[in-house]
Structure 1
């Protein structure tokens, strides 16, 4: 026997197919409790790597002999060492080759809608809870909130034989590095973001506020920017064909975007109130809301994507029914948690005022997103 290598794609495929998966995570407990692999019929236990160095045979007593154990650590090295110890004792073992580092960079595309003249795809970066979108029509594509791993979108566009023409960021992201500028440079597409997000930036962009509609293809696939401040002052949502609301970090399946990252929680919460009860009030309950983040793996629906009808979100989230402005403000401004790690640096990178190398970019992004306030 030998310790088998496992890649993120294969691990995801097993989980997504509903197979039973047993994970032994050997990172320290704080890291495990903050951020771990979840989903499906997955069973996960945490025994720190250092505990295995003590030759304590009791550690192995409760590990299953009749199923494969997938060992996971931060970057793969410790998982392999623990895997070899398990292998010596007759366990069936594999390990995630690059650990949570690889898992954090894994994207899973899911088709939300496919019609004669339009296709809408959600890219789920599962480990980060980050979502991005590609809208395809008549050989052209529009991308919303792309992550920094631009090859994901380039390869998908190539597989669909389409040209990327428009790239939109709904706001200045604080928890992950945008791939928008790099993707625009590689494709000669137009990069759009609200100018309210880009103060002191020398980065080329097209201000979203100049456009009520962005049309592409030969059919009426409309992308209408809707100013939806609250998460950030320049937050913008996009209504596609009056049916799909790409809501950025304004409205989530399970809550609202946090308004505190600019140090003006109450002021931005007031803006969020106006967004919810004025700007978006006229949208029908049947509009499908597709956010840029999710806070819980349970938000992935039976169709495999994160999204819900606006009516269901209104009914299921108390904060969406809290019409008293002061009460809403207190709940939203007082409901924020820990700030995204490294968010100041990430914001500067996304604004173009700070440049980092690939290794530093990867380091800055490690960990879950913390952009949503969950209001059940």
Structure 2
């Protein structure tokens, strides 16, 4: 009998549903320590696959006999080999057929708000800590910060019986490839981004700075584009119906975005100060902040989404209360030298449209965790 397979969706459902599963990751230790499947109550262990070739019984002493073991590797081959060994020894075992490659392509939509005026859905790409959004009103939809697997958004829109009309990127992303341009081509929707992010680009887009508001739907969902520079010079946040701040990489649940990826850490930190203590200062504490990235699985709240009120973020993060400009700049610019997103310079140029890559190359460039959500607490 063939060893059972488990899909990324099934694995996520097991992790979140209280149905125990134990993950055995058989990649090299450095790969596991850098990037792995996580969950609030998840138990996992790393034993490299080649250790199982030695028939050493000590490899099995930490493996449970009463819980299903899901074996994970990079692309599935090594996991299958180990799963077959465990199956022969009587373990309840399955394996993730395409490994971390499959996990990196898994998206999980969560509805945040449903009202007469609109529906707001957060789409969580768990492997990358990437968050994107669909705002629906009267059969029309807006997508914010889509990732490159655009079928996820096309299928979600179809399930919601909504037509995608507007697509926006809050900034030029550095750790994942945007699906904005391709999604716009597929749907005929308008693609928006700040023109300061797209210098030298031939990609057709509508400059966000030309629009104080973008309205759609019979109820005219209000989307206010707020310049929030600091992470990048052209970073923009969207205030939806005066209640929800889609904050890109400017404000996270755990703090503020990193300003060092352009090589101008102090200069951009000054911009971030103005964003926090001038632009954002006027927003009420009950504004719900919904970022584009998160750094820790613990940031997923009891509602199943990543988000917190601006009041909660102000209270829990000292940097949001550091009103001395010089002290703020020193603290924020101090992240320069922290681990940067792998291949971020190439990813930025892909998103700007000056470099083209194959789908396989895109997958290779995106492998690994998100590193844009460096927190200033």
TM-score normalised to structure 1 length? 0.99
Number of the residue aligned with 1:196: 196
What's the secondary structure of 2:263's corresponding residue?
Answer: coil
Residue by residue, what CA displacement relative to the aligned partner does 1:143-187 show, whole Å, maximum 9, x if unpaired? 000000000110111111111000000000000000000000000
Match for residue 35 of structure 1? 35
Q: What is the Cα-based RMSD across aligned positions, in Å? A: 0.9
Checking the alignment, whether the CA contact within 8 Å between 1:133 and 1:143 is kept in structure 2 is yes
2:369 paired residue number: 368
User: Shift in Å at residue 20 of structure 1?
Assistant: 2.0
2:300 and 2:216 mapped to 1: Cα distance?
29
Is the CA contact 1:220–1:241 (under 8 Å) kept in the aligned structure 2? Answer: no
Q: Which residue of 1 aligns with 2:307?
A: 307
Q: What secondary structure is seen at the aligned counterpart in 2 of 1:372?
A: coil
Query: Do structure 1's residue 261 and structure 2's residue 270 form an aligned pair?
Result: no
1:18 Cα deviation (Å)? 2.1
Moved over 3 A (4+): none
**1:355 matches 2:374:** no
Give CA-to-partner distance per residue, 1:257-293, whole Å, 9 cap, x none: 1000100000000000000001110000000000000
Residues 1:246 and 2:243 aligned together: no
Whole-Å Cα distance in 1 between the matches of residues 117 and 316 of structure 2? 33
Residues 252 and 291 in structure 2, CA contact (< 8 A), matched pair in contact too: yes
5+ long unaligned stretches in structure 2: none
Tell me which residue corresponds to 1:186: 186
Q: Which residue of 2 aligns with 1:136?
A: 136
Mapped to 2, the partners of 1:258 and 1:144 lie a distance apart of 20
Q: Distance in 2 between matches of 1:325 and 1:29?
A: 42
Q: 1:220, CA displacement in angstroms?
A: 3.2
Name 2:341's counterpart in structure 1.
340
Q: How does 1:1-376 map to 2 (within 5 A)?
A: 2-336=2-336, 337-376=338-377
Q: Which stretch has the larger CA shift, 357-366 or 12-21?
A: 12-21
Partner Cα separation in structure 2 for residue 275 and residue 107 of structure 1? 31
* Cα deviation, residue 335, structure 1: 2.4
TM-score normalised to structure 2 length? 0.98
For residues 176-220 of structure 1, the C-alpha deviation after alignment (integer angstroms, 9 at most, x for no partner) is 000000000000000000000001001100000000000000113
**How far apart are residue 2 of structure 1 and its match?**
4.4
Secondary structure of the corresponding residue to residue 215 of structure 2: strand
User: Between Structure 1 and Structure 2, how many residues are aligned?
Assistant: 376
